[in-house]
Amino acid sequence: MALNTKRSISRPMKAFFRSAPVVTVLGFVIWAWMALVGRTVRWTIEGEAKARAALAADTPGLVVACWHETILLMPAGWTRAVRHWPEKRGRGAMMISLSADGEPVARAIKHLDLDVVRGSTGNKKKAGKDKGGMRAIAEASTRLRKGDYICMTPDGPRGPRRNASQGAVTLAQRTGAKVLPYAISTRPAPRLNSWDRFIIPLPFTRGAIVFGDLIDCPREAAPELLQDALQRGMDEATRRAESLAGHPVQPARPELTPE
């Protein structure tokens, strides 16, 4: 089920939703919804042993990769699993766009005892506009080197949907960290008619959290090969999560789907 979001929004309406009081309220509402979903969904968790071992290892931190469409579901892996693992090291953080639209989500994430790294890749059509990308990379690198773990979306912030960019593996190469594919799915799951078919998770449903196979990212490796490895890892974890949740896998790239 897709919800149409393509109707134009007036500038006054945009200004209203981006005003400080409204952003504060939206942040609280999103946090409450995330918490409700995390607590009431009937979760199946797979790959927990390898994720726990990775978080406990005496090595640089971990880059956790998850698709952009599941941003509202991402914290469930933290609240239902990772936060309670005694062997984990460091702090968890999510990389959120520096855009005004990302502010309510960033505030909600902080309520869940997760840190936030703000920034995204720049828009080629707006080359002079700072998206905080370099600052975000610097902060994420510092965190990873001291043993923290950073959750980021390899297909965000603009897509294409479910196509992994080199950002996550490049960050891992830079810091000596490994990359952990992380997929999460619920059923039923209404979707927005956006570029990523953004999921609006519902409470009291069925869901799955899948931690995939760790990806080593040595400095001497070709980024393209690591990018391909991440794509395969994300695709496999996503297929498994959607299967466990009980609904058909959505094509990642329709143009590559055989007829």
Give the distance between the most distant pair of CA atoms in the chain: 51
Single-letter amino acid code for the residue at 96: I
Where does residue 238 rank: exposed (0-12), middle (13-18), buried (19+ CB within 10 A)? buried
The CATH number given to 14-248 is 3.40.1130.10
Distance CA 65, CA 243 (A): 19
**Considering the entire predicted model, what is its pTM?**
0.86
pLDDT at position 39 is 94
> Each residue's pLDDT tens digit in the chain (259 positions)?
555 544 545 677 767 667 888 899 999 999 999 999 999 999 999 999 999 998 888 888 999 999 999 999 999 998 888 888 888 888 999 999 888 888 999 999 999 989 999 987 544 445 455 567 889 999 999 999 999 999 999 998 889 999 999 999 999 999 999 999 999 999 999 999 999 999 999 999 999 999 999 999 999 999 999 999 999 999 999 999 999 999 775 565 554 444 3
User: Residue 145 has which token pair?
Assistant: 């080197």
pLDDT at position 123 is 47
pLDDT at position 56 is 86
Single-letter amino acid code for the residue at 63: V
Residues 6+ apart with CB under 8 A from 256: none
The answer to whether 158 and 69 have CB atoms below 8 angstroms apart is no
